[in-house]
Amino acid sequence: MVAAMELFQDILEEKEHPCNEVTYGTMINGKLYADKRIRPSVDCFNPIIHSLYRDGRMDEALNLLQDIMKLGVVPSVLTYTSLVHGLCKYGRWEEAKRFLIDMLRNGISPDVQTYNVLIDSLCKEDRIEEAISLFIFYRVLFLAGKSIKCSIHELITVFLLLAHIKSN
């Protein structure tokens, strides 16, 4: 741990390679792991996952998710939304759908930001009919008083509807 802290100090002093969220998050997490009394929360990992996907390093973000889950850290709606956003951004739509279903299976409901990410991503891919269908689904949930929570069954129904629209 001492060597890692010395390396971090050298990086801080060097102006050519400025630190970013991933560097700081890695150091914080390393420090937490070294002290077995402190267990990192998902909030320690969310900025790192977000930065990784934003930098186009989706596989690393997905691997980090697996690592934190092995540690017993439960992903949050923000964790899932960041990953879904990255998967959509890089055209990995089937994986994004699986993440949404996993999210629901783990008892985490998509929030407004999750739906915004999906609708925005669909529009950017010129998948307007699918975006409109998802928006309508979201509005129906909202107006039905379900807020924005939905069940796995409801989400699968939307995916089937989207597939039908896409095939016509």
Has residue 154 been placed in a domain? no
- Work out the pLDDT band at 85, boundaries 50, 70, 90: very high
In a domain, 79, yes or no: yes
- 85's CB contacts (< 8 A; 6+ apart) are 53, 117, 121
Q: Which amino acid is at 125?
A: E
The number of domains in the chain is 1
**Kind and range of the H or E run holding 7:** helix 2-13
Q: In the structure, what pLDDT confidence band is assigned to residue 152 with cuts at 50, 70 and 90?
A: low
C-alpha closest to that of 132 among 161, 168, 94: 161
Residue numbers of the domain that contains 46: 2-129
**What is the pTM assigned to this prediction?**
0.66
Please give the radius of gyration of the chain, using alpha carbons only, rounded to the nearest integer.
19
Identify whether 168 is part of a domain. Answer: no
Determine the length of the chain. 168
Residue in the block written with tokens 């307007």: 128
> How far, in Å, CA of 24 to CA of 145, rounded?
41
Q: Kindly state whether residue 151 falls inside one of the protein's structural domains.
A: no
| 56 part of a folded domain | yes
State the average pLDDT over residues 99-117: 84
Specify if 82 maps to a domain: yes
**Residue-level pLDDT at 86:** 94
Domain contains 152: no
CATH number of the domain that 122 lies in?
1.25.40.10
Q: Is the pLDDT of residue 44 over 70?
A: yes
Do the domain assignments include residue 136? no
Question: In whole angstroms, what is the distance from residue 102 CA to residue 43 CA?
Answer: 19
